[in-house]
Amino acid sequence: MNIKGVNLGNWLVLEKWMSPGLWEGTAAEDEYYLPRSLSKEAYEARIKIHRSEYITERDFARIASMGMNTVRIPVPYFIFGDREPFIGCIEELDKAFDWAEKYDLQILIDLHTAPMSQNGFDNGGLSGVCRWAQLPDEVDFVLNIVEKLAERYGKRKGLFGIEPINEPVSEEMWTGMGVQKRYPPVDKELAEGSAPISFEWLKKFYDRAYEKIINKIDEDKYVVFHDGFRLNAWEEYLTQEKFKGRVVLDTHQYIMVAELLGCEQTLEGYKNYIKEKLTPEIEKVQSYVPLIVGEWCIFNSLCVGMDTKGGQTVLNGIDAKEAKTVKCEEKKKIYMELSRAQLEVWSKCSGYFYWTYKMLLDTTDQNWNGWDCWDLSKAIDMEWFPKRV
């Protein structure tokens, strides 16, 4: 297994910071509130235009030309169109499979959101709320979704695997990120009782998800488990005989999170973290289970010109006026060195998916200076990332 991939973020699961224009005229900060802030007609028009234009067949051709072989596609819990006021998007995923197979790419389907959220992040669809795991009917709803996805795509040549839930938040990450401070809930009542997801609960959920998926997908496809921000905790669970050859572990590794944990914000500091901390951990886990880095990028505070406090934006409290200017040539050097250093580590596991393929972000606005490196297409064009991998 040698996955070289990219995420199609902000296509079927929206994130405001990645495409601010889509949210104009509303006070909504996440996907839950967007349809509640527009008329039904305006919401449907925006979503349909966005989905038809943001990712097209041409993008799959470009991704293949980059040397990539797989795409990870975040999908929402309302993909089948059965959760009003949201609009389903199963037809778009059908098209993605046709395009992927045409350009010899595979797809990892990533269920990126859950009702009442599995993490409280903005990318979980409902900021500051994390109650999904406490609602048995909603857990069953998610299990039903992954089963239906397995039934629909399990025999497709273009399927790599199915990831039954993205980034279920651990106690450590919930506290360390200060989730409800970073992503304040709009409705305090809705957020009441929000809490992180325990390791024991997550293992039981994965057992159930595995059973729903495994008999409906071909033997060369995988069930992909996110590590729940606990990279080193899985050996006993994942070495069970029933998982052998069928399960892949997904970890998300961002330099901005390393910064939050105290990594020095210099090029040498980043490289030392990658070499001394990340590399041994990646090698150890890969020794007992195929490991992929399902999300990573070259974003860092050094190139923004200020401490972003773990990747906080102007949307959640950072004042970019404090940022110093970083010259283009210096950025190019830092980004390319970080690209190569991280790619070297990922070569020691089963592969990676960069976050993300593209964004619609106007970086002439100084508040977003340094954030465009999340966009792999631009990173390649700007010589921040190798032209072919």
Domain of 204, CATH number, reads: 3.20.20.80
73: enclosing H helix or E strand: strand 70-75
Do 265 and 213 contact (CB within 8 A), yes or no? no
pLDDT at 313: 83
Do 357 and 377 contact (CB within 8 A), yes or no? yes
Report yes or no on 369 lying in a domain. no
Examine the pLDDT at 314 and tell me if it is beyond 90: no
Examine the pLDDT at 229 and tell me if it is beyond 80: yes
72: enclosing H helix or E strand: strand 70-75
pLDDT band at 318 (very low <50, low <70, confident <90, very high): confident
The average pLDDT across 203-228 equals 98
* Cα torsion 62, 60, 52, 43: sign: negative
Report yes or no on 331 lying in a domain. no
Sequential DSSP letters for 248-273 = EEEEE--HHHHHHTT--SSHHHHHHI
In the chain, the number of structural domains is 1
* Cα torsion 146, 143, 80, 113: sign: negative
- Peptide bond before 386: cis, by omega within 30 degrees of 0? no
* Cα torsion 154, 160, 164, 165: sign: negative
Per the listing, tokens 């007992």 go with 288
Report yes or no on 318 lying in a domain. no
Report yes or no on 389 lying in a domain. no
pLDDT at 159: 98
Sequential DSSP letters for 205-221 = HHHHHHHHHHTTS-TT-
Per the listing, tokens 């299990």 go with 143
Q: How far apart are CA 152 and CA 322, in angstroms?
A: 50
Examine the pLDDT at 257 and tell me if it is beyond 80: yes
Which tops the pLDDT comparison, 318 or 275?
A: 275
Task: Determine the structural domain holding residue 134 and report its residue range.
Answer: 3-298+340-358
The average pLDDT across 112-125 equals 97
The average pLDDT across 267-276 equals 97
Q: Are strands 247-252 and 222-226 parallel, antiparallel or unpaired?
A: parallel
Examine the pLDDT at 47 and tell me if it is beyond 90: yes
Q: What does the block give as tokens for 77?
A: 């819990």
SS3 of 9-42: the string is CCCCCCCHHHCHHHHCCCCCCCCCCCCCCCCHHH
Report yes or no on 10 lying in a domain. yes
Report yes or no on 335 lying in a domain. no
Report yes or no on 153 lying in a domain. yes
pLDDT band at 375 (very low <50, low <70, confident <90, very high): very high
Number of other residues whose CB lies within 10 A of the CB of residue 70: 23
pLDDT at 321: 78
Q: How far apart are CA 203 and CA 42, in angstroms?
A: 41
pLDDT at 323: 86
The average pLDDT across 227-234 equals 97
Report yes or no on 328 lying in a domain. no
Do 123 and 17 contact (CB within 8 A), yes or no? no
pLDDT at 312: 85
The average pLDDT across 31-43 equals 97
**Percent with pLDDT over 90 in the chain:** 92
The average pLDDT across 205-221 equals 98
Q: Please, what's the largest Cα pairwise distance for the chain?
A: 55
Q: What does the block give as tokens for 257?
A: 């999170």
Examine the pLDDT at 218 and tell me if it is beyond 90: yes
Q: What is the pLDDT of residues 322-358, one digit of tens each?
A: 788 899 999 999 999 999 999 999 999 999 999 999 9
Residue 372 one-letter amino acid: D
Do 3 and 69 contact (CB within 8 A), yes or no? yes
Burial of 209 (0-12, 13-18, 19+ CB in 10 A): buried
Cα-based torsion angle of the residue sequence 47, 251, 240, 108 in order, rounded to the nearest 10 degrees: 30
Residue 276 one-letter amino acid: E
Q: What is the pLDDT of residues 60-88, one digit of tens each?
A: 999 999 999 999 999 999 999 999 999 99
Number of other residues whose CB lies within 10 A of the CB of residue 9: 27
pLDDT at 124: 96
